[in-house]
Structure 1
Amino acid sequence: MLCSLRRWLRGLEPRVRGHMDRPWLLSLQPWLEQRALFRFQRQPLARGVAAGMFCGLIPGPLQLPGTLLACAWLRGNVVAGGMTTFYTNPLTIVPLYALAFYLGALVMPGEQVMPAWGTVAPDGVFSVQALAAWMQALGTPLLVGLPTLGLLLAALGYVAVHILWLAPAVQRGRRWQRCRTAGCTRPPAEH
């Protein structure tokens, strides 16, 4: 499965590069190529996922522009970075921000108490205004915890891409090692 995912990602590269032949993008091509923004190889993909994981915690409309800038700075894959930002959505943002609050409370001195949802939404109904008020009530621990959580998630995403990318090679090496100890002269066939 991982090999087929890797082949699929590598197959995306020519299609993306085909879209780069637009006349208005021709002047940017040397810069884009130098930055590896559309390379579907291990390092650019890992950097793109890390950028997307970090920038996914940025509020709404700034996630993708932030990811584009981070990918350009880190020389990461823009497609992987942009797709990764979708781990934050209306269902996951509240638990992620609560986790960021607790991480910030761990880092900050003194005792930090998370405000209850009922203090910002007395009737308990979810609304964008209630969510904004709750986020504002989270205060400094949230401001400290968001970059902390973003860095943690970015590091986990970076490592996960490397592990997933190298897993088929490790499996092949193990099969070859077992075959050599059993007396084989040729490597075992791929599944």
Structure 2
Amino acid sequence: MMERLCALRRWLRGLEPRVRNHLGNSPFAHLQPWLERRALFRFQRQPLALGVAAGLFCGLIPGPLQIPGTLAVCAWLRGNVVAGAVATFYTNPLTIMPLYVVAFHLGALVMPGEQPLPAWSPEGGGFSVEAMGGWMQALGIPLLVGLPALGLTLAALGYAAVHVLWLVPALQRKRRWQKCRETLAGTDA
């Protein structure tokens, strides 16, 4: 497991020069100084954690606005745009309805009174975009309150997870070093 984390960190560090080189040879080369100041392509712990948090928060935005929203939030927070864009992919046609149900329940916890979950009742018995839109409208205010709450919760968890996963190999190296020092101190005595 630790070898995989270390390999992932090495791969991410090797990815940064390739992204910068590709960006320097693209039509967007004139934007490179602004992008560098914003750390949008840095594959270090803090920008990666901010990018993942932005992607998890913006992943709940409906439709094709998830990645542009993530890019804007990453530019504002100075997070990694690649990590942010990849993090938005946790929402897809299979996961969006369960996520919206969780968001509805979070919103219902905050709002006064009892908020019953509307039943899914598509016309014709099948799934359609219109039926999904109608169901989302029936979820109403609890959904509007719960989506930001769920987004902030997922963003905080993703931010913390990146920091923990980034530090695990360093902590293990420290433990191995201490054990080695103790072993050497025991043989000298």
Per the shorter chain, which TM-score range? over 0.9
- Number of matched pairs: 183
After superposition, the C-alpha distances for 1:119-178 in whole angstroms (9 at most, x for unaligned) are: xx1553211111111111000000000000000000000000000111000111112222
Alpha-carbon distance change, 14 to 184 in structure 1, aligned in 2, over 3 angstroms: farther
Alpha-carbon distance in structure 2 between the residues aligned to 1:146 and 1:102: 10
Which aligned pairs between 1:56-135 and structure 2 lie closer than 5 A?
56-118=59-121, 121=122, 123-135=124-136
The question of 1:137 aligning with 2:138 is answered yes
Q: Which ranges of structure 1 fall in alignment gaps of 5 or more residues? A: 186-191
Q: Which runs of 4+ in 1 moved over 6 A?
A: none
Deviation at 1:183, TM superposition (A): 3.1
Q: Within 5 Å, which residues of 2 pair with 1:1-191?
A: 1-22=4-25, 24-118=27-121, 121=122, 123-183=124-184
CA RMSD of aligned residues (A): 1.4
For the residue of structure 2 that corresponds to 1:113, the secondary structure is: coil
Alignment check: 8 A CA contact 1:117 1:124 kept: no
Identity of aligned residues (%): 73
Q: Report the TM-score, using the length of structure 2 for normalisation.
A: 0.93
TM-score if structure 1 supplies the norm length? 0.92
Rate the CA distance shift 1:175–1:133 in 2: closer, same or farther, 3 A.
Answer: same
Partner of 1:189: none
1:2 partner amino acid? L
Matches of 1:11 and 1:22, distance apart in 2:
18
Shift of residue 13, structure 1, vs aligned partner: 0.6
Consecutive unaligned residues of structure 2, counting only runs of 5 or more, are: none
Measured in 2, the distance between the counterparts of 1:14 and 1:160 equals: 25
